[in-house]
Chains A and B, each alone.
Chain A
Amino acid sequence: MANNGSVQKALEILEKQLNQPLKTALEVCARCGICAEACHYYVAEPKVEHVPAYRAEQLRKIYRKKHNFFGKYVSWLVDAEELDDEKFNKLVEMAFSECTLCRRCTFNCPLGVDTPLVMRTIRAMATATGKAPEILVMLADSAIAKGENPEIFKEMFLQQISQLEKELQELTGNPEAKIPVEKKGARVLYVGLAGAHTIIPPAIIFNEVGEDWTLSIYEAANYGVFLGDVERAKKIAKRIIDEAKRLKVQEVVVAECGHACAALVWDAPNWFAEKFPFRIRSVVEVVAEYIQKGKLTLDPKANSEPVTYHDSCNLARTGGIFREPRIILKAVVKDFREMNPNGIENYCCGGGGGLVALPEYYEKRMRAGKPKAEQIKRTGAKIVAAACENCKLQLGDLNNYYNLGVEVKGLVDLVANAILYRKKAYASSN
């Protein structure tokens, strides 16, 4: 079949992306099937289309057509195929709706085959040819527009923050509590997300420990990552990198958000081939450090209901941040119950990879989240804590869909609650 423009362009993108890790992922697979049980889609609905190796194989066939000697001349011998429009559309649908880029298959594969890298490549091919979900493109472009024209929102943002500051002062009973914005020379630049819930609890914590901090005018979320579009992702990250340089901070602290952390902490230094003059960490690491250094006095009685913790794939598997959440939970929760498996072996909630922002895949996302819903149910917990915004949205939806009867909270919510609880107890005893 003759290739049309978008297929041609997609193949060009594939060629451009062919670095060593991708070539390895496209050439190595023992077809042992071990990865099947690693994928939450397969666990939820065991069918061949849900086996990670099957997914990667769909692009491997196309790759072999050009890069395998037999693929070029006797395609049937090595199952090599030409890409056409219909196949490309199917690849795109699969990469955006049937893989959350959670990396659990890679961790469980004896050869370490990077299936999510293959899925990211398909996403990049889709984005370059205008076939990526519009909403992800729009969210990425809105973030870029904010960076290019901060005047379109800055005044309103500052107004909102001054109101949040008043709320903070009321909550803490401290008229001196502050939410400084873009303060030059602050030690920490905290980057939240759009929404008060990602600003107030960290502000309570920073004020409590006397941190020299300031709030970024930007949000940490980076939808360029979900598009597999490094150029867009770089533009979104650059807003924050430039802000941190301009303010001469020593550390950038990223809100509870898995993909944002992955983008800023682990990807950005590679994207910009640069060693930044500041450190970048997740707020989870920073709060755990405050606790370990004895900077926070907390009362676990504040959170007396049973709590379980969902490890975000990006934080735990990509970033190795799985001890820190437990340091926090043990300090602020009376009855902490692990779900199993957990940590780097935790199952994805089903909302990763940008899926929570795509209403057209709601049903698929709910079905893929079944293993997570069952894990939560088995703990008997009343509160599910998570340190990622996407996970929290998905867990909230799973809660309604599967009638779990839980409440979803961030780690910083539990810490802030423990701080406020102690303050109230102190005030009433005096």
Chain B
Amino acid sequence: MTEQVKVDLVLDLKGLLCPMPIVKLSQAIKDLPVGAVIEGIATDPGVMADVPAWAKTSGQELISIEQRDKEYRFLIKKVK
């Protein structure tokens, strides 16, 4: 699924701990136009719970979130 979506910004969140991945994601999305897609790559498993909750609260679309080896990758689409 990740491969089919055009990614506008890759956000390297590796090595960051709570709440910094969410802080960086919130900041980054502000500067993008509606419709843009962010791919986040994190190493802290906390994002698996925090990113879906953030998407729900902020009203943005979580396209996918998955683990690949020791990394956690997610795709967020800015919808508003």
| Chain B residues closer than 8 Å to A357, beta-carbon distance | 19-20, 23
In the complex, A117 has a CB within 8 A of chain B: no
Known interface pairs A139-B19, A393-B17; A160-B57 also in contact (CB < 8 Å) = no
| In contact, B18 and A389 (Cβ under 8 angstroms) | yes
Interface of A, helix, strand, loop or mixed by DSSP: helix
Give the nearest-CB partner of B54 in chain A: A142
| Chain A residues closer than 8 Å to B17, beta-carbon distance | 195, 197, 389, 393
Interface set, chain B 17-52, CB cutoff 8 A to A? 17-20, 22-24, 26-27, 44-50, 52
A164→B44 CA distance, assembly (Å):
12
Interface set, chain A 342-376, CB cutoff 8 A to B? 357, 359
| In contact, B46 and A142 (Cβ under 8 angstroms) | no
| In contact, A152 and B56 (Cβ under 8 angstroms) | yes
| In contact, A149 and B56 (Cβ under 8 angstroms) | yes
| In contact, A145 and B45 (Cβ under 8 angstroms) | no
Q: How big is chain B's contact interface, by range?
A: 20 to 34
| Chain B residues closer than 8 Å to A197, beta-carbon distance | 17
In the complex, A143 has a CB within 8 A of chain B: yes
Which residue from A143, A149, A163, A195 sits with its C-beta under 8 Å from B46? A195
B-side residues, CB < 8 A to A, are 17-20, 22-24, 26-27, 44-50, 52-54, 56-58, 65, 67
| In contact, B20 and A145 (Cβ under 8 angstroms) | no
| Chain A residues closer than 8 Å to B23, beta-carbon distance | 135, 139, 357, 359
| In contact, A153 and B53 (Cβ under 8 angstroms) | yes
Give the nearest-CB partner of B58 in chain A: A138
B60 to chain A, nearest CB (A): 11
Known interface pairs A138-B26, A139-B19, A156-B65; A195-B53 also in contact (CB < 8 Å) = no
The digit string for A182-211, where 1 denotes a CB below 8 A from any CB of B, is 000000000001111100000000000000
B77 to chain A, nearest CB (A): 17
A195→B72 CA distance, assembly (Å):
12
In the complex, A9 has a CB within 8 A of chain B: no
| In contact, A164 and B45 (Cβ under 8 angstroms) | yes
In the complex, A70 has a CB within 8 A of chain B: no
In the complex, A157 has a CB within 8 A of chain B: yes
Which residue from A141, A221, A393 sits with its C-beta under 8 Å from B20? A393
| Chain B residues closer than 8 Å to A135, beta-carbon distance | 23, 26-27
A171 to chain B, nearest CB (A): 15
A112→B68 CA distance, assembly (Å):
54
Which residue from B44, B58, B67 sits with its C-beta under 8 Å from A194? B44
A157→B45 CA distance, assembly (Å):
8
| In contact, A138 and B49 (Cβ under 8 angstroms) | no
Give the nearest-CB partner of B72 in chain A: A160
